[in-house]
Structure 1
Amino acid sequence: MLPKSVRRTAFMAVAVLFAFTTPSHAQFAMCGERAAIIDQLKTKYQESRQAVGLISTNGAAELYVSEKGTWTMLVTLASGKSCIIAAGHSWDSSPTLAQGTGI
C-alpha cells in the first residue's frame, strides 16, 4: 500500500480534477449504483479496494487495484452517485523512480 502522504496527495489531485470537470467532460465518466460498479470491478477485473479518501464533505474517492496491475478510481458523491473517473493498467504499489528524470 502507498504511504499515507502519497495517497492523500493523489486523492487531493483527483478531488480538484473532479471539482473542476465541466459538463462536457463529465459525460465521459461511467456512472451508476456503487454496489453494482464494485461488483463489476471484483468479478470482471478482480480488483479490490486498496485506498480510500474523503473529498471534503462532498463524497469519497476509492482506488481499486488487481494483482495483474489493472486499476480503477471511483468517486462517490454525498448524493449517492458513483462514477469511474479514471482507469488503467500497470499499477505499481511501490514505484521505482527513474534516475535523472527529475521525477
Structure 2
Amino acid sequence: MKTTLMMIATIVATGLSGPAYAANCAPREAVVDRLASKYGESRQSMGLGANNAVIEVFASSETGTWTITVTSVHGMTCLVASGQSFETLAEALPVDGDDA
C-alpha cells in the first residue's frame, strides 16, 4: 500500500499544475466537507509525497467508497482516484524465501 501511495504521489505531484487537474481541485476544507457529507468518508491514512504534497485516503466503512486526494503546500486539494469496496488491511511482509 505504501509503495502504491508513493507512486501515485509522485505521478500526481509532478502534474498538479496541469489543466486536467483544475476541475478536480478545491480548497482542502471544501473537499473534506464534501467527502464527509455526500459520501460519509473520513480520513483513513495519510503520507507525505513529492514536493511536500500531502496524500490522503478517505473512505467509508458503511458504503465502501474511497477517495485518494493530494493537497499541495498552497492548500489546494485535488482528487486523484476514487472507487468502491474499500477494505482496511494490516498485512505482514512476506518472509524472505517464502514463495507463498
Superposition TM-score tier, normalisation by shorter sequence: 0.7 to 0.9
* Structure 2 residue 85 is matched with structure 1 residue 70: no
**Structure with the greater alpha carbon radius of gyration:** 2
Unmatched tracts of structure 1, length 5 or more: 1-5, 96-103
Matched residue type, 2:40: Q
Give identity over the alignment, percent. Answer: 36
* Structure 2 residue 78 is matched with structure 1 residue 83: yes
Matched residue type, 1:42: A
CA contact (8 A) 2:70 2:80 kept: yes
Question: How many angstroms does 1:16 deviate by?
Answer: 2.0
TM-score scaled to structure 1, two decimals?
Answer: 0.73
Question: How many angstroms does 1:43 deviate by?
Answer: 0.9
The size of the alignment, in residue pairs, is: 88
Residue pairs, 1:31-50, within 5 angstroms: 31-50=25-44
Question: How many angstroms does 1:36 deviate by?
Answer: 0.9
1:79 & 1:12 partners in 2: Cα distance? 20
TM-score scaled to structure 2, two decimals?
Answer: 0.75
Aligned to 1:26: 21
* Structure 2 residue 47 is matched with structure 1 residue 53: yes
* Structure 2 residue 58 is matched with structure 1 residue 94: no
Matched residue type, 2:52: N
Aligned to 2:96: none
Aligned to 1:101: none
